[in-house]
Structure 1
């Protein structure tokens, strides 16, 4: 099949070209994101492959349908950027990568927790300048602390397993109780209990209408003073203005983000020569207890191999008329 890849970077073309030798698709890599202005670039292709910040709303889907696109292949797990009802009405199938390497995101979650706690990023900069003072670098033992995980899918469960290895008490919430929760020693609780008990809260749930701004002024008020908040899932799970207020009041003492609600205008690009216009994002950067990475939690060689293999297999299954086991339905 002839596939237009949107929002691609050098590593995308490198990995997909390498693994495509076994699938023999015709891949066209475009750096631009998919939106209403760029959708006509899909002309002459059979399918499009998109990433987390590409737009596949009704307007874009209608244009893709005019270009006779029959398949949208997401090279990620999330699909909140696709209007599934509109896609179905237009006869466009949507497939995704439901799991690649849950260890990549889980381990990055731990990297954020450990860096914020032990302030290794600040210590690194001090030592480079010849400053070996320990003032302001004190952390706490993770052993014995209570960690709350919102979302107990594959990533949440792997995160729980790692945290149990540190000697943490892990409490978790999900709309469905996974069987693995008991074997991992996770205490399954409701959200209010999780908020009240947790020293650290980490988000691992998808973005849905029910989870949009699940962290807001009301939920923050239920948390311990000095809580650490981590988000490696989707930016819009957090009401950023509410979290900024909580940082100012010291309700939240640590914030680690790999995602941001308005990241589409920032992440995956070199903005070092630009004046960043997002005042809310710049306010976040002004706090010395906030650590932000640019949506890199997924970014390991193991995860990329999984993403590429599943994506190309999804495309081949569609081309060959096979059942689409990774299809996303409205």
Structure 2
């Protein structure tokens, strides 16, 4: 009997990649553009597997409804899982799996692209030249070589990012609950968060969102940082307290901010709102600063990453169906 997978929060590229790689698995695929939440869960009919993304709401209330509908597997097509109530899923007998690693280089390279763009202002230079303005005024940057870069979180993505910045000749400090010996041998030095806040010229966030990391960038931690600090976040929006970062930008404490994620992004990202009046005053304020670069959760968006996401998701689901287990234990969450 063919198993059906119901996908939520899907875009055209999701459908394209999952359909392409389904030839080797033979699932029946059902795609919904809407996010999964308590209002949309009733779209599911006769399916035991749902596939969700970063902004789908899979809380206890939704999980209860999924269990009532006979859902047995929740497959996350991402690494983060802070949007899923794992305790409720386990209680309901629903297995949860994820894609723990999909081209970490994709996200790491995007973080570096944001650093280079903010520093050398290539986005502004591009627009100027198209208008036949060849002036260099206002485009002054700085050498990355010799600067101190702080990396918070040295999992697969943070590790890949460390290797990139080392290649630029930067001094690299890192913080994580466990040390990676490979990057230590390359010259990365593990320090306390306080040391990184005080010493770094650039700080890049690559840690998960949980109770300990939520709003780790706040008024207190910002006050410890160097003036004109550059902050990059390609991890989770909730790591940054948005009102506090806005105040730090206004006070010129933060000299550069690059964010590919935003705490309230589920109302904005992956949608075309060009004809709408956006009601989120915080994102509008952030985008009004000339030294802020916002991309819409784009860091993962490479051919290699989407290929890995599709194939790993199918493999996870197939393994759970056939033997109720997954070889890669990091992919199984309960």
Fold conserved between structures, TM > 0.5: yes
Provide the secondary structure at the position in 2 that maps to 1:130.
coil
Q: Which residue of 2 aligns with 1:226?
A: 228
Q: 5 Å matches for 1:96-135?
A: 96-135=98-137
Question: Quick check: 1:7 aligned with 2:9?
Answer: yes
Tell me the distance in 1 between the aligned counterparts of 2:59 and 2:45: 18
Q: Which residue of 1 aligns with 2:57?
A: 55
Q: Which residue of 1 aligns with 2:164?
A: 162
Q: C-alpha displacement at 1:180, in angstroms? A: 1.8
The superposition leaves residues 6-35 of structure 1 with CA deviations (integer Å, 9 ceiling, x where unpaired) of 010110110000100000111101111100
Q: C-alpha displacement at 1:184, in angstroms? A: 2.3
* Residue of structure 2 aligned with 1:327, choices 305, 314, 332: 332
Provide the secondary structure at the position in 1 that maps to 2:81.
coil
How many residues are treated as equivalent by the alignment?
Answer: 329
Q: 5 Å matches for 1:71-90?
A: 71-90=73-92
Q: C-alpha displacement at 1:40, in angstroms? A: 1.2
The superposition leaves residues 167-203 of structure 1 with CA deviations (integer Å, 9 ceiling, x where unpaired) of 0000000011122231221010000000001000000
**Unmatched runs of 5 consecutive residues or more in structure 1:** none
Q: C-alpha displacement at 1:322, in angstroms? A: 4.2
Q: Which runs of 4+ in 1 moved over 6 A?
A: none
Provide the secondary structure at the position in 1 that maps to 2:173.
strand
Q: C-alpha displacement at 1:77, in angstroms? A: 0.1
- Taking structure 2 as the reference length, the TM-score comes to 0.98
| 8 A contact 1:160–1:184 mirrored in 2 | no
* Residue of structure 2 aligned with 1:148, choices 142, 147, 150: 150
Provide the secondary structure at the position in 1 that maps to 2:169.
coil
The superposition leaves residues 190-243 of structure 1 with CA deviations (integer Å, 9 ceiling, x where unpaired) of 000000010000000000100000100000000000000000000000001100
| 8 A contact 2:234–2:299 mirrored in 1 | yes
| 8 A contact 1:181–1:188 mirrored in 2 | no
Q: 5 Å matches for 1:143-292?
A: 143-292=145-294
Question: Quick check: 1:69 aligned with 2:71?
Answer: yes
**Unmatched runs of 5 consecutive residues or more in structure 2:** none
- Taking structure 1 as the reference length, the TM-score comes to 0.99
| 8 A contact 2:163–2:183 mirrored in 1 | no
Provide the secondary structure at the position in 2 that maps to 1:269.
coil
Provide the secondary structure at the position in 1 that maps to 2:304.
helix
CA RMSD in angstroms, aligned pairs only: 0.7
| 8 A contact 1:5–1:27 mirrored in 2 | yes
